[in-house]
């Protein structure tokens, strides 16, 4: 669990809340030498935490000789799908 001061949390509280919500990160809020509060997701979205993602991905099976065929399959699927709408346009 990350520890930040109350002053650090106050500087950009909306961004801090976004990290808690989107990444599932929890924070200890410290004032002086004491932890006075915890900021954590209301309910975990996934058992996998963002800091464990690299290890999870490293543990997945690696593509071997079938990598080229898999890549071509993805390209074929993408060609068949309609273009995505621009969410910013």
Instruction: Give pLDDT tens digits for 60-75.
Output: 888 777 888 888 999 9
For residue 89, tell me if it sits in a domain: no
For residue 9, tell me if it sits in a domain: yes
Confidence at residue 57, expressed as pLDDT on a 0 to 100 scale: 87
Banded model confidence at residue 36, pLDDT cuts 50, 70, 90 = very high
Confidence at residue 3, expressed as pLDDT on a 0 to 100 scale: 94
Instruction: Give pLDDT tens digits for 1-14.
Output: 889 999 999 999 99
Dihedral of CA 65/70/76/78: which sign? negative
Report yes or no: 5 and 35 within 8 Å, Cβ to Cβ. Answer: no
Under DSSP, is residue 28 helix (H, G, I), strand (E, B) or coil? strand
Q: Which domain holds residue 23?
A: 2-80
How many other C-beta atoms are found inside a 10 Å radius of the C-beta of residue 39? 18
For residue 17, tell me if it sits in a domain: yes
For residue 58, tell me if it sits in a domain: yes
Number of domains in the chain: 1
> Is the pTM for the entire model greater than 0.85?
no
For residue 85, tell me if it sits in a domain: no
Q: How far apart are CA 58 and CA 76, in angstroms?
A: 27
Q: How far apart are CA 16 and CA 7, in angstroms?
A: 12
For residue 86, tell me if it sits in a domain: no
Dihedral of CA 35/16/48/52: which sign? negative
For residue 87, tell me if it sits in a domain: no
Report yes or no: 55 and 32 within 8 Å, Cβ to Cβ. Answer: no
For residue 54, tell me if it sits in a domain: yes
């Amino acid at each position: 669990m990350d520890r930040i001061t109350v002053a650090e949390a106050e500087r950009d509280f909306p961004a801090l809340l976004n990290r808690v919500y989107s990444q599932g990160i929890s924070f200890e809020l410290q004032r002086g030498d004491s932890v006075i509060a915890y900021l954590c997701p209301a309910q975990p979205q996934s058992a996998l935490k963002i800091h464990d993602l690299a290890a999870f991905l490293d543990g997945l099976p690696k593509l071997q000789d079938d990598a080229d065929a898999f890549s071509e399959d993805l390209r074929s699927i993408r060609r068949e799908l309609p273009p995505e709408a621009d969410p910013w346009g």
